[in-house]
Amino acid sequence: MKILVINGPNINMLGIREKKIYGSLSYPKLIELIEEKSRKLNIRVECFQNNIEGEIINKIQSTYGEYDGIIINPAAYTHYSIAILDAIKSVSIPTIEVHLSNIHAREDFRHRSVTACACIGQISGFSSFGYLMALDYFKEAGIINE
Ligand code: DQA
């Protein structure tokens, strides 16, 4: 049983970009936390980050028949990528949307997610914990059995 964690544009700049909003945790450290949690839960996880919309779509499509769940932070694409929305819908794999910051407490243009409607739900504002909560959900909800 496998989970794919997808991070979109600029998430690789964590720890460097807008620290007041995103904190000082680096991207490699975030991945370490996700891998550590997955080991504890006995979940196989793959982490993928890309700055290019088409690459993210290719990766989502590659999950079909291969993965049991997706955790995705589409970053800025959250707010306008109908193509990523359609990719999530195409594979119909249980997906959770995560945001490090609380997008609803920020600029108006960040309040709207075009991708969340294809997801089980959205976790927003809990920094790195959001990804770990999503892993807990997959495990506890029995979506991932081993
Ligand atoms: C983000 C929020 C988005 O609005 C922003 O474009 C990001 C990161 C978050 O994790 O808080 O790049 O998805």
> Could you read off the pLDDT of 11-57 as tens digits, one per residue?
999 999 999 999 999 999 999 999 999 999 999 999 999 999 999 99
**What's the one-letter identity of residue 17?**
R
Which pLDDT score, from 0 to 100, does residue 142 have? 75
Q: Is 22 a catalytic residue?
A: yes
- pLDDT-derived band at 77 (thresholds 50, 70, 90) equals very high
d(CA 109, CA 107): 6
CATH number, residue 24: 3.40.50.9100
Ligand 1 within 6 A of CB of 73: yes
Ligand 1: atom nearest CA of 76 is 6
Residue 69: its H or E element: strand 69-73
- pLDDT-derived band at 71 (thresholds 50, 70, 90) equals very high
Q: Among 67, 99, 131, 137, which one carries the catalytic annotation? A: 99
Domain assignment of residue 48, given as a range: 2-140
Residue 145 resides in a domain: no
Ligand 1: atom nearest CA of 10 is 12
> Could you read off the pLDDT of 84-135 as tens digits, one per residue?
999 999 999 999 999 999 999 999 999 999 999 999 999 999 999 999 999 9
Number of domains in the chain: 1
